Amino acid sequence: MAVDPTPALEETLSAVEQRLSGLGEALRQRDLAEIDSQSAELHRALARAVDHFTRAARQGPIPPALRLRLASTSGHVAAQRESFARATAALDRAIDVLLPRDAPAVYGAYAGAGRSLGGSIQA
């Protein structure tokens, strides 16, 4: 007799949903330590969910309600990923404005071309 995987799948999916919610809250609060922690936990929860759902799918069909929740959660993960990508691109543009990559070196080996390298003052 096959064991009903639904309770384990619901628990696994709930863990992913909780981590997504926790990450969203950490992002709103701009709590870097919590963002890092929630991101790591979300990664682990997603890995467990993929494993559990893959094994359950081999045993038979996933209940429709769980498939809908999984699809919704997948959409939330994609939205978080897109949000991070946009934020990263905006940060990269801001850094490029503040610190252009092609800007001449201010302190290089030959930055003071008009000065003597020997340390003496020329008039």
| In a domain? residue 113 | no
pTM of model > 0.85 = no
Q: Count the helices and strands in the chain (H runs, E runs).
A: 3, 0
> Are 60 and 6 spatial neighbours (Cβ–Cβ below 8 Å)?
no
| In a domain? residue 118 | no
| In a domain? residue 87 | yes
| In a domain? residue 74 | yes
3-class DSSP assignment, residue 31: coil
Number of residues assigned to the chain? 123
What is the pLDDT at residue 80? 86
| In a domain? residue 17 | yes
CA distance 31 to 37: 10
Lowest mean pLDDT among 18-22, 38-42, 73-77, 109-113: 109-113
Domain count for the chain, please give it: 1
| In a domain? residue 11 | yes
Domain of residue 24 covers 6-98
Is 64's pLDDT higher than 80? yes
Please name the helix (run of DSSP H) or strand (run of DSSP E) that holds residue 21, with its range, or none: helix 6-29
